[in-house]
Structure 1
Amino acid sequence: MTSHRAAPDEALGDLLDQIAEQLGSPVPAHLQAALRAVPRHDFLPPTLWLRDGDGGHEPCDREGDPDRWWRAAYSDAPLVTQFTEGPDGDRVPSSSASMPSVVVRMLRTLDVRPGHSVLEIGTGTGFNAALLSFVCGPDNVTSLDVDPDLTRRAQRALKASGQQPHVVCADGAGGWPPNAPYDRIIATCSVRTVPLPWLEQTVTGGLLVIPWDTPWCNFGTLLATKQADGTAEGSLAPYGSFMLLRAQQVDAELHAVIPRERGGQEPERSTTGLSPWSVAGDDLDAQMYLGLRMPGTWHVWDTEVADAHTRLWLADGRTSSWACVDYDGQQTSAFAVAQYGARKLWDEVVRAYEEYMAAGRPGVHRNRLRLIPDGRSTRLEVSVPA
């Protein structure tokens, strides 16, 4: 690329091809028009963080390496745009520009049309809000972000782009009553429980498109329709992995839970024939099935334990229950199990996995979700139709 000022047409054409390949079909015409009218690079900060070969991130500065920065801006990849300090002093990504193909998938599913009233949870860079404004009209779009610095940066970028939706610095968990009700609600962060205000502020027949998360598996996007009785019903789409809604980032660290043996109690020990890789490996369908049916349950792999080759830890911080499953480096038909606490977590895993297999290994999309108002929150019912 020799001229960055002239590059967007060529770069965007390449990006549209990448998105179409991911979608399996061309980008819808109205979203192509939005992407051409709202250049992605105008919403990106001067420094981006790109994934390196070790699973971490390395900076990419627009002034220091403009060609690389430009390629990143028009790649079909998520880009970290902000870090915060984690509890251990480590840098933790706290905002990103979503993968463009996922942005388009979500907007296509949202089925937005001119005149639709839309609430977006998570303004981030402002790029998604600008696309929504182009399609629906800026007066019909409300976007919320809890981070004041992100909000100010997004407002500046939106003003420069000519798209100026209502951007508010507020906790997205409460929705935004002043502009309710909404025909569409979309979140650019994931949730483990849909906040009740989102359901209450959606019109009957309106759509909610919300990335879903469980402590077991952060994957899938809820597509739900508001019903006349105040509930919402839908399914999960097999895409989307987003940062968790700030108000729901309250989980205890695993190391604070395991192993914790009180009163001299010893964990219950047994063996299992179920491979830990079957439930915590590459099968995202299985992982999501388990995550939806085992609330509050975490897992993490550990290869630095003294008495096993590889260990799968499970924990529930609310009950201080934990379990571990050990691979000795040789035996693949039986694995040592230890369980402690009120919940026998590995037993729950085995039951859930047996249900998953009996149901025919249902894909993520076969999980039917029903959101029910329950006090100040919502309750989730999950089923897999025969």
Structure 2
Amino acid sequence: MESGALTSDWLSAYEAVPRHLFVPEVIWPGRAGMNRQHDRVTMAEDPDMWWEAVYRDAPITTQWDGGEYTGPGKGRTPTSSNSMPTMVFSMLAALDVQEGQSVLEIGTGTGWNAGLLSQRLGGDNVVSVEVDRTTAEAANNRLRLAGLLPLVVVGDGADGYADAASYDRVIATCSVGSVPAAWREQTVTGGVIVTPWGPTYGGEAVARLTVSKDGSASGPFVGSSAFMRMSVQRKTFPPTRAFLDGDEWPGSGVRSETALSPDDAGDWVHMFAVGVQVPDLFCRVEQLEGAAYRLWVLDTGITAWATADYEPGRTRYPVVQSGARRLWDELELAWRWWDRQGRPGFDRFGLTVDSEGERVWLDSPDQPVPVKA
């Protein structure tokens, strides 16, 4: 791969375990660098488009709404996928497996990642946990047809798989907002956990955590990511109308202006920096006329809301805030903190997880990112 994600130590596994063996006949191709899907493509109806999608460096959605939606078109929530090859091999590089090591994978999906690990380490050293039975059975069939024999377990990935513990490496192919304690408990001292992690507001990156003797785990973020949330940690946010008490926007909201563009509040690393500091924020986007839009900022406790309207060419943007808190002010303070630190990318952030909780830090563990209580 031109990105350099496919290093020489994974090349033979990539060649022996081709992606097409682990992609179902019905797919929704994604776009590289984006978590948006095209409409359904089937191998039977459009084989050329199917093959092109399989060997493009982009993610492929393989299930919607837990399998309840099959198309045509798209469902509401993607619930399984075959990840972008660059991301797959970047995370495997971060995992840094060595011969003879054991690996626990969280989220079997189509089985490709488990297949690559099994080719490299041998199936006896790989356990993969998948919450959806149908997905797990289909992946297991693909693996066996390819001559690969990891242990595929149907279960809640948050619980790991204690029966085969402990593991030298743990890798998650779904994102979390809180690293399950079982993953640390089932990893050897000095072992590594590689997992996508992100706050409620948005933004996400892959954390590479090393487990210490005391059971804590800490390490840097090694790159941006955009994975589906682990099923047990998926959240359903209240509808916008729940915040308005039957009124129409802007109701009794307090009007002001800001020089901070809503675009600057919606970039991936910006969302990460804001979300870490204000953990109960979430947002929605309402399209307005042309390229204009309204960014809604809301809190999970349904106590306050704010809007900021974006229009191309403007340098100041209308803001409306209502409720017990001034959420745009909180967001802007968090953004200004990130700006004062030199606008750090994901590579300057890190994460520590222990019995007391989780702390995101900047540059070193003794510099925690401030969190609004």
- TM-score, normalised by the number of residues in structure 1: 0.84
Alpha-carbon distance between aligned partners in 2 of 1:334 and 1:32, rounded to the nearest angstrom: 51
**1:303 equivalent in alignment to 2:287:** yes
Shift of 1:332: 2.8
Shift of 1:39: 1.7
Alpha-carbon distance between aligned partners in 2 of 1:141 and 1:107, rounded to the nearest angstrom: 13
Select between 102-111 and 199-208 the one with higher mean Cα deviation: 199-208
5 Å matches for 1:1-386?
Answer: 19=1, 21-23=2-4, 27-51=6-30, 56-84=37-65, 90-255=75-240, 257-260=242-245, 266-280=252-266, 283-304=267-288, 310-327=293-310, 329=311, 332-374=314-356, 378-385=357-364
Alpha-carbon distance between aligned partners in 1 of 2:135 and 2:359, rounded to the nearest angstrom: 31
CA contact (8 A) 2:204 2:269 kept: no
Q: Which runs of 5+ in 2 are unaligned?
A: 368-373
CA contact (8 A) 2:29 2:58 kept: no
The alpha-carbon distance between structure 1 residues 260 and 211, as it changes in their structure 2 partners (threshold 3 A), is farther
Superposed CA deviations along residues 54-79 of structure 1, whole A, max 9, x for unmatched, are x5522222222222222222221111
CA contact (8 A) 1:319 1:343 kept: no
The alpha-carbon distance between structure 1 residues 261 and 234, as it changes in their structure 2 partners (threshold 3 A), is farther
Structure 2 counterpart SS, 1:238: strand
Alpha-carbon distance between aligned partners in 1 of 2:238 and 2:315, rounded to the nearest angstrom: 31
Total equivalences in the alignment = 352
Structure 2 counterpart SS, 1:237: strand
Select between 133-142 and 121-130 the one with higher mean Cα deviation: 133-142
Select between 357-366 and 344-353 the one with higher mean Cα deviation: 344-353
CA contact (8 A) 2:304 2:326 kept: yes
Alpha-carbon distance between aligned partners in 2 of 1:315 and 1:236, rounded to the nearest angstrom: 27
Residue matched to 1:12 = none
Superposed CA deviations along residues 219-270 of structure 1, whole A, max 9, x for unmatched, are 31111111222211111122321000000112314425433489xx943433
Alpha-carbon distance between aligned partners in 1 of 2:360 and 2:50, rounded to the nearest angstrom: 44
What is the letter of the counterpart of residue 91 of structure 2?
Answer: M
What is the letter of the counterpart of residue 341 of structure 1?
Answer: G
Residue matched to 2:370 = none
What is the letter of the counterpart of residue 70 of structure 1?
Answer: W
Shift of 1:29: 2.5
The alpha-carbon distance between structure 1 residues 167 and 207, as it changes in their structure 2 partners (threshold 3 A), is same
The alpha-carbon distance between structure 1 residues 266 and 225, as it changes in their structure 2 partners (threshold 3 A), is same
Alpha-carbon distance between aligned partners in 1 of 2:283 and 2:135, rounded to the nearest angstrom: 32
- TM-score, normalised by the number of residues in structure 2: 0.87
Shift of 1:314: 0.4
What is the letter of the counterpart of residue 326 of structure 1?
Answer: D
Select between 65-74 and 204-213 the one with higher mean Cα deviation: 65-74
Superposed CA deviations along residues 194-227 of structure 1, whole A, max 9, x for unmatched, are 1111111111111111012223224311111112
Superposed CA deviations along residues 107-132 of structure 1, whole A, max 9, x for unmatched, are 01100122111110000001100111
CA contact (8 A) 1:254 1:317 kept: no
CA contact (8 A) 2:242 2:302 kept: no
Q: Which runs of 5+ in 1 are unaligned?
A: 1-18
Alpha-carbon distance between aligned partners in 2 of 1:144 and 1:77, rounded to the nearest angstrom: 24
Structure 1 counterpart SS, 2:179: coil
Alpha-carbon distance between aligned partners in 1 of 2:3 and 2:12, rounded to the nearest angstrom: 19
The alpha-carbon distance between structure 1 residues 76 and 333, as it changes in their structure 2 partners (threshold 3 A), is closer
CA contact (8 A) 1:51 1:58 kept: no
CA contact (8 A) 2:30 2:58 kept: no
What is the letter of the counterpart of residue 296 of structure 2?
Answer: W
CA contact (8 A) 2:349 2:362 kept: yes
What is the letter of the counterpart of residue 366 of structure 1?
Answer: R
Residue matched to 1:6 = none
Shift of 1:167: 0.5
CA contact (8 A) 2:63 2:79 kept: yes
What is the letter of the counterpart of residue 233 of structure 2?
Answer: Q
The alpha-carbon distance between structure 1 residues 309 and 42, as it changes in their structure 2 partners (threshold 3 A), is closer
What is the letter of the counterpart of residue 228 of structure 1?
Answer: K
The alpha-carbon distance between structure 1 residues 381 and 99, as it changes in their structure 2 partners (threshold 3 A), is closer
Structure 2 counterpart SS, 1:71: helix
CA contact (8 A) 2:306 2:319 kept: yes
